[in-house]
Structure 1
């Protein structure tokens, strides 16, 4: 088994009865195995895991809404500011496979605590603004535990879930990221606007500390999750279906970030919205993500491959629609919410598909999903910046994103055909 059910993690003070003469001593508190917890405790644990996703969602998405403020503070251009997003995504891309491939023997509970501690440190460093270069380094460090955390948290939730509910369990943990875009990101945006962008990263750091404490006290030992070796995990890289699924995530998800990265400029410069209302636009996107994540979990439990195709088709449609509606504040905001909805329906199906095709290398495969999504993040942000730098309008990145989603549909057909053949 991966975890020992009798491992102590907390100590509490205990006083000897009168006459014992030894004074206070420490007593070890036993942490239960995953098979020993009730369904209520399971949901509480998954909520704690989702809280970590909430913090990660805030730090990933709030940077995009703060780019204009950061650009003015240093000062730098729009495309230089976009590097803040790109470096965070690069941290995810590098950290996810490296961490998960070489930590297979670490008990999952302990690994989650380590990853959340690293998340706290990376975001705490982001508070300081000694230089633009140091901010880039801090964002890279903050991104390192991102993919590995979601991988281990999602697999832990799936391991605890009843039969036939893996997709919903993964979506439940992922819901933290979606809720972040509704509550956390707008709150951090308002905080950053009022007190400076540093305050937004301070809020993220506080969320990380609360998550770390919650997992310390609530997370059981994942006794059903077997230890793996680096060679076992790296075996996922030999599977063509893993690579094709990752390709869909890295290409198809980029369209969202081609639009999201520059949304503050799009809605203020083009749609005429005041800076003080950008939080409304971000909240619309977040509401779409919350609902889409729930629907995506249901689609994954219904039919993984068809769920992926349906999400990609809808992403193409709504991105083309955003090109035409982004000149109007109300229509653009509603359409942006639909971008969030259909983008988030894609994620649970991709995650569950990787679990299905990766064999015993599920941890690495699941983490690579987040690497792929953040490759899409980096590609989308870079492509959107290149389109704007070339002199096109702030609406044009939406068409570039639609092309990316269309390319992902082109990958879907051979992927499904090859799987059916084998």
Structure 2
């Protein structure tokens, strides 16, 4: 894989750290800005909504810019938003910076997904996507726990400053590693925006986007509410929460790496084998959550399966949207973030039911079941992985 892919993954790591780090910072933010924890939680919603809306909107605005110009601009805006957020004493201002950061993140990821596909041969999009998404998985392993520790030791503002600093080497890497293309070349090539948006009338593209959103909703629905499962159901100390999150992140790294080697040539094998296993895994985790060894093992496995399926489906989005070369990445980004925003909302409603802390795990299983049923019409295409049907 070319070096520029890893430089893009570095920026994705910084942005992924920012996206997930609030889970451990909300109480301190609430206290520091004199708002309730519930109000501070709106920062997470603001980021998710900004990602969903921002992916197609910002990608459409930047579609005629050179990739390097777009990527650098998004990184600098993202960095500046965190610098302002780190220094503000106003919750509305912090809220606004999260929206701006989300828009920049969405735009970056949309352009990066499209750019990554152009840096490799047409039959290696899945491997390129795996490298790019490894930045997110490493963020869950290193960035998020590290941000939590930094916030505990030096306060939540220090974590925001750390994200700001992480953007600088990422920007330098993009500047040095992503080739510049002349403006005229960019503007002259490719279909019109209307033609690219017309790709959204393709039922197969919409269905693959839906499947990706459902699997990602299941992933984030459970990931968001793992803490009470660890402390209440398994009876482990709070320190084990970080261990469980790191295990989930490690599993996701393994899953996205393995899937990246298979999702181009054998997507059907990943989906046909991983889908049923993922479906079984969430209820199994709910049933065995009171057994620490089983909990730790299944968290790793579910992280691997979730990201293996999710990254494979997102790769299919890029293939199905081949007629939208500058917007395909935004369609994939939107699908990911619809799931990331909707999953916790759905899972959260189960906490007040008889299932209690285990409710999100059952909800994730249900979401995967819906995905498998919805994907049944594509069984002859996705499951067999026939290149003449899938890639054209």
Q: So what's the TM-score if we normalise by structure 1?
A: 0.81
Structure 2: any 5+ residue segments left out of the alignment?
A: 383-388
- Cα shift at 1:228: 4.6
User: What is the alpha-carbon distance in structure 2 between the residues aligned to residue 283 and residue 180 of structure 1?
Assistant: 10
Closer/same/farther in 2, CA of residues 222 and 323 from structure 1, 3 Å limit: farther
Partners of 2:160 and 2:240 in 1: CA distance = 20
Could you say if the C-alpha distance between residues 298 and 107 of structure 1 is closer, same or farther in structure 2, counting changes exceeding 3 Å? same
Distance 1:68 1:228, change over 3 A: farther
CA distance in 2, matches of 1:185, 1:192: 10
Structure 2 residue aligned with 1:387: 350
Match of 1:301 in 2: 264
Partner residue of 1:400? 363
Task: State the distance in 2 between where 1:279 and 1:129 align.
Answer: 28
Matches of 1:289 and 1:222 in 2, distance apart?
34
Partner-residue secondary structure (3-state), 1:144 = helix
Q: 372-381 or 116-125, which moves further after superposition?
A: 116-125
Alignment partner of 1:167 out of 101, 114, 126: 126
Q: Which runs of 5+ in 1 are unaligned?
A: 1-41
Which residue of 1 is the match for residue 289 of structure 2?
A: 326
Whether the aligned pair in 1 keeps the contact of 2:215 and 2:309 (CA below 8 Å) is: no
- Residues 295 and 98 of structure 1, relative CA distance in 2, 3 Å threshold: same
Give 1:295 shift: 1.1
Query: Does 2:146 match 1:187?
Result: yes
Structure number with the higher helix fraction is 2
Aligned-pair distance for 1:71? Answer: 5.5
Task: Report if the CA contact (8 A) 1:189-1:279 is conserved.
Answer: no
Aligned mate of 2:305, from 338, 342, 350: 342
Separation of aligned partners in 1, 2:299 and 2:36: 27
The aligned runs of 1:167-316 (5 Å cut-off) are 167-221=126-180, 226-316=189-279
Residue matched to 2:109: 150
Shift of 1:248: 0.8
Deviation at 1:111, TM superposition (A): 0.9
TM-score, normalising length from structure 2?
A: 0.87
**CA distance, structure 2, for counterparts of residue 273 and residue 89 of structure 1:** 30
Distance 2:129 2:46 in 1: 26
Q: Given the superposition, is the C-alpha separation of residues 310 and 148 from structure 1 closer, same or farther in structure 2, using an over 3 Å criterion? A: farther
- Largest Rg, 1 or 2: 1
Contact map agreement 1:304 1:352 (CA 8 A) in 2 = no
Aligned to 1:76: 36
Q: 2:316 aligns with which of 341, 347, 353?
A: 353
Give, in angstroms, the shift of residue 249 of structure 1: 1.4
C-alpha RMSD of the superposition: 2.7
CA contact (8 A) 1:123 1:202 kept: yes
